[in-house]
Amino acid sequence: MKIFGVCGWKNSGKTGLVERLVYEITTRGFKVATLKHAHHQFDVDHKGKDSYRHREAGAVEVLLASSKRWALMHEIDDGSEPSLDQLLTHLAPCDLVLIEGYKRDKHMKIEANRAATGQPLLALEDATVCAVASDHKPDGLSVPLFDLDDTAAISDFILQQSGLGMRKTVAPDLTPLSMQNDCFALPEGTKWLPVDEALAHLRGRLGPVVGVEITPVAKAEGAVLALDQTALRSNPPGANSAMDGYGFAHASTGDGVQTLALVQGRAAAGAPFDGVVPAGSAIRILTGALIPAGVDTVIMEENASVQAEKISFQGPVKAGSNARSAGEDIQAGKVAFKAGHKLRSPDLAYLTGIGVSQITVHKRLRVGVLSTGDELVAADGGQSPAPKTYDANRPMLLSMARRWGYAAIDLGHVLDDRALLKDCLDDAANRVDVILTTGGASAGDEDHVSALLRQEGALDAWRIALKPGRPLALGIWQNVPIFGLPGNPVAAFVCAAIFARPSLSLMSGAGWIKPQGFMVPAAFNKSKKAGRREYLRARMLDDGRVDIYKSEGSGRISGLSWADGLVELPDQAMQVQQGDPVRYIPYGSFGI
């Protein structure tokens, strides 16, 4: 249950503002309660009423009920007024409690202000007043100012400050993409597909396939924002000191030796000075402390001397020195992150610093990894006979999916049996958002993945002008996309890094991503024919050059471990000599 106050002097428009806010915020789907501080000996009961007679007879509590509402009246025997915290415990759970009055209590408030009252602004002296709603433009404000009648904008501010967000419901355009069976279909007559065209085709056909959820910021590392996130509070929330030192009004200083009287007390982080520093005086102020009224400049303590309750320093001092302005990092209501941003550890600090405790994110993409083939077995300490192949792809792809921030689901290994494969895919369709398979995606007698997808799902076999990893099977099974990667581990790795990674990012809601490459001198010689793009296992040397693995054979799994990146050679023919610039993409640029 969140609380937010509306304060102000008599006839400032508090009650009217609360009335409008209740209507505006409840129409947005939030449940609102109010708590008003009554003045002038106001009583909730009157002489002559039945409830009054019950109380006069000695009832400690009277519960008055009708078909429209009920009210509980509790007698205060000792005459002491209950605190705000005590009163809040009597309210039923709701989204927001709007508190009218109680201006001396330490909760966030917006001040209602009218020029006709002639009263001084509470915001100038009370750090808990974080905005002003007024019918004019008061001077000296360091907090946001709203028109007193702009109920929608004030409601937005209160909901942001309270951490409730703008609406309770999620925007309708966040519905996950429904995959069509012809999603991956290529234009008729397409044979060999260049890498860039394949990537463009995937980018144009895919979109987010996951729903959204609300999660605590503290647990959101790696999550993808589903909505733009604005700052709920300015950072810093108020003008504050950047140094330990002494604060004063710059206008009261000049050239030469300056001497100012020290006021009693100090301003510290979390313990602001409750008062005004007179012109010609200074106050002790610590790093991060809110700058008191009457202060606009801070001098470092190393540059001042203190004697007999006075400070002296050499002028002139630059106006505003060592004073951070409110909102200089970001102002409340400004967008901190756009939808699609994937949250990192520093982002969690930023969100927390601007008051955000919960965010709307895409649900984590569930990536299933499936191996097929009679020849595959799990690693068994080297005991299997030569005809058997150890399943190296599945642990590699599961690890890659985890490194990319997704929920990696091990779908296991299926033999070359179409009925077993169908059962596995049926089960997977209820557990994952996308499936990566290896093996069984070509057109041979035992390639049951492609056969089953053609028969009961959808399949498009892409022949990509790429080395290694030319075949790429893309299909749909019960609305779940399937990426059929080559069975060779080196080719599977390259295709996953080049095609699956940006596609999965798009489906996760994070948008399309491109690996960042660098032009570096080659430490090798290489002759390349035209027609295919090539990715060579490569390693950066200590001298800043990049070398490639001794063999280009795609059966050499050791080359993947030897390398720390890939060298990308373009589609056209080229002759690489040592020292020539080549494009090197480190594993880190693939998120590996």
Please give the pLDDT value at position 447.
62
* Residue partners of 459: CB distance under 8 A and separation at least 6: 450, 453, 473, 474, 475
**Are both 6 and 58 inside the same structural domain?**
yes
Residue 201 lies in a domain: no
Structurally, the chain folds into a number of domains equal to 5
226 and 262, same domain (yes or no): no
| Residue 457 to residues 179, 181, 438, 461, 476, Cα–Cα distance (Å) | 12, 7, 18, 13, 6
Considering the domain architecture, whether residues 522 and 467 belong to the same structural domain is answered as no
Q: Are residues 320 and 342 in the same domain?
A: no
Same domain, 225 and 334: yes
Residues 116 and 221 in one domain: no
Mean of all residue pLDDT scores within the chain: 89
Domain contains 378: yes
CATH classification of the domain holding 431: 3.40.980.10
Q: Tell me the mean pLDDT in the region 64-72.
A: 86
Does residue 190 belong to any structural domain of this protein? no
In a domain? residue 122:
yes
**192 assigned to some structural domain:** no
| 295 and 336 assigned to the same domain | no
295-321: per-residue pLDDT in tens? 999 999 999 999 889 999 999 999 999
Condensed to tens digits (0 to 9), the pLDDT of residues 111-166 reads 999 988 888 899 988 889 999 999 888 888 888 999 898 888 899 899 988 888 75
Does residue 535 have a pLDDT over 80? yes
Judging by beta carbons within 10 Å of its beta carbon (0-12, 13-18, 19+), is residue 267 exposed, middle or buried? buried
Instruction: Give the model's pLDDT for residue 480.
Output: 93
Residues 293 and 398 in one domain: no
Cis peptide, bond prior to residue 176, ω within 30 of zero: no
Half-sphere exposure of 102 (CA within 13 A, CB side): 24
- How far is the CA of 296 from the CAs of 131, 251, 285, 325, in angstroms? 20, 9, 12, 9
Please work out, in degrees rounded to the nearest 5, the angle formed at the alpha carbon of residue 456 by the alpha carbons of 450 and 457: 70
Q: Pick from 25, 2, 4: which is nearest to 95 by CA?
A: 2
**What whole-number distance in Å separates Cα of residue 239 and Cα of residue 325?**
4
CB neighbour class for 304 (10 Å; exposed up to 12, middle 13-18, buried from 19): middle
pLDDT, mean of residues 253-263: 95
- Where is the domain boundary, 467, 489, 508? 508
Predicted confidence at residue 40, as pLDDT, reads: 58
**Per-residue pLDDT, 171:** 47
Task: Show which of 273, 298, 324 is a domain's final residue.
Answer: 324
For residue 500, the 8-state DSSP code is I
- Chain-centre distance of CA 120, in angstroms? 40
Mean pLDDT of 50-65: 87
pTM summary value? 0.69
Cβ of 35: how many Cβ atoms within 10 Å? 17
Query: Domain residues for 427?
Result: 366-508
Tens of pLDDT, residues 545-581: 999 998 887 778 999 999 999 999 999 999 999 999 9
Instruction: Enumerate residues 6+ apart whose C-beta is below 8 A from 68.
Output: none
Give the pLDDT confidence of 221-237 residue by residue, as tens digits: 999 999 888 888 888 88
Q: How long, in residues, is the chain?
A: 592
Q: Does 6 lie in the same domain as 47?
A: yes
Verify that 280 and 424 share a domain, yes or no.
no
The mean pLDDT of 501-515, rounded to a whole number, is 96
Answer whether 296's CB lies under 8 Å from 314's CB. no
Residues 230 and 349 in one domain: yes
Mean pLDDT of 238-245: 94
Alpha carbon separation from 558 to 490, 552, 585 (Å, rounded): 9, 11, 19
What's residue 170's pLDDT? 44
pLDDT of 191 reads: 78
Are both 150 and 50 inside the same structural domain?
Answer: yes
Per-residue pLDDT at 575 = 96
Task: Give CA–CA dist 98/15, Å, rounded.
Answer: 11
CATH number of the domain where residue 319 is located: 2.170.190.11
Q: Residues 342-369: pLDDT tens digits?
A: 999 999 999 999 888 888 899 999 999 9
